[in-house]
């Protein structure tokens, strides 16, 4: 289904940016989304990117309106009531207006150019479409659906996009120390490059978990950080199990995962950047 675009608000840019030089942040009412916005704004400021917000009026919710089993629970009375399209569309407008104000405030504090767009369609499809030419994509680990470690939208975007994706949790900021998982493949090399870009503004260090690297390869990787003037420690991990155990115990910082390991998302509680 094609999206219906309702509105777009732009500010005058603080810095000139190329047409595709932007970070997309998917917005909703969840605390994880608010954290994703804050992380995206910090990255936009550090990498001189435009910040673009996207709010999707979920067409699947509208399809529930009028159906016999389409009910919502009142937040004050806890009484069920029939979902009505007029009420749902009003809620969409209220939420979009609130998110636009929040985004203006966050972007203003970081002094980055920004835009905010509202579309109607499927959430995952619209995020993938809007982020197809982005430098990066940022979204909350879980949306407004409770009971999930990693939401279906985050999982689908990570699987299907060819852009780095910040999967942000509400409890942690996207800050150092950064941990990069390194397998020696192109995605791992990209993760190292991005990790350096993220670490420099925070003046923090990077821990690299290596698997299957020779001593010569490890020395070459260490030289990369010396050339970039970023403090790093390299750890040769004996197995996948040792690596996942290390990551599972992390409770600070953020992890950069090469895309082939995106399935590890649920095992990591800190913010994760999945890098293709």
Cα gap 216→91, rounded to integer Å: 58
Low-confidence ranges of the chain (pLDDT < 50): 1-3, 12-18, 70-71, 73-78
3-state SS assignment for residue 10? strand
Note whether 92 and 83 are within 8 A (CB). no
Residue 152: predicted pLDDT? 92
- Supply 261's token pair: 């390991």
- pLDDT score recorded for residue 82: 60
The two domains 4-168 and 178-275 share their CATH topology (first three levels equal)? yes
Q: Are 251 and 227 in contact (CB under 8 A)?
A: no
> How many angstroms separate the CA atoms of 197 and 221, rounded?
16
Q: Please tell me the predicted confidence (pLDDT) of residue 67.
A: 60
Burial 104-117 (b: 16+ CB within 10 A, else e): eebbeebebbbbbb
Per-residue confidence (pLDDT) for residue 248, from 0 to 100: 85
Q: Give SS3 for 32.
A: helix
How far apart CA 62 and CA 249 sit, in angstroms, is: 41
Give the separation between CA 234 and CA 245, rounded to whole angstroms: 17
Rg (C-alpha) for the chain, rounded Å, is 20
pLDDT tens per residue across span 174-195: 888 999 999 999 999 999 999 9
What is the tens place of the pLDDT at every residue in 83-107? 678 888 899 999 999 999 999 999 9
Q: How far is CA 45 from each of CA 41, 127, 176, 201, rounded to the nearest angstrom?
A: 6, 22, 16, 10
CATH of 4-168, one of 3.40.50.150, 3.30.1230.10, 3.40.50.620, 3.40.190.10: 3.40.50.620
Per-residue confidence (pLDDT) for residue 1, from 0 to 100 = 43
Supply the pTM of this predicted model: 0.86
Please state which of the four CATH numbers 3.40.50.2300, 3.30.980.10, 3.30.70.380, 3.40.50.620 is assigned to the domain occupying 178-275. 3.40.50.620
Contacts of 37 (CB under 8 A, 6+ apart): 25, 27, 53, 102, 103, 106, 138
CA distances from 230 to 44, 77, 106, 199, 201 (A): 20, 55, 28, 7, 10
Instruction: Locate the domains of the chain by residue range.
Output: 4-168, 178-275
């Amino acid at each position: 289904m094609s999206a219906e675009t309702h509105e777009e608000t732009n500010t005058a840019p603080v810095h000139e940016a190329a047409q595709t030089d932007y970070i997309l942040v998917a917005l909703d009412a969840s605390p994880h989304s608010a954290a994703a916005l804050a992380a995206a704004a910090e990255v936009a400021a550090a990498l001189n990117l435009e910040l673009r917000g996207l709010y999707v009026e979920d067409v699947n919710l509208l399809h529930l309106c009028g159906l016999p089993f389409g009910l919502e629970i009142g937040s004050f009375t806890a009484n069920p009531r029939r979902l009505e399209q007029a009420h749902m569309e009003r809620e969409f407008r209220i939420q979009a207006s609130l998110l636009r104000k929040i985004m203006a405030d966050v972007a203003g504090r970081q002094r980055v150019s920004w835009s905010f767009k509202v579309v109607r369609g499927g959430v995952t499809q619209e995020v993938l479409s809007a982020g197809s030419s982005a430098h990066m994509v940022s979204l909350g680990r879980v949306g407004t659906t409770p009971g999930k470690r990693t939401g279906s939208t985050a999982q689908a975007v990570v699987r299907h996009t060819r852009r780095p994706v910040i999967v942000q949790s509400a409890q942690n900021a996207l800050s150092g120390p950064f941990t990069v998982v390194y397998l020696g493949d192109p995605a791992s090399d990209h993760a190292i490059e991005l990790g350096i870009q993220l670490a420099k503004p925070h003046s923090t260090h990077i821990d690299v978990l290596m698997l299957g690297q020779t001593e010569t390869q490890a020395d070459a990787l260490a030289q990369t950080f010396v050339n970039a003037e970023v403090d790093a420690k390299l750890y040769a991990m004996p197995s996948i199990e040792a690596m996942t155990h290390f990551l599972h115990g992390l409770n600070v910082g953020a992890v950069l995962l090469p895309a082939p390991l995106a399935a590890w998302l649920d095992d990591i509680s800190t913010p994760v950047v999945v890098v293709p």
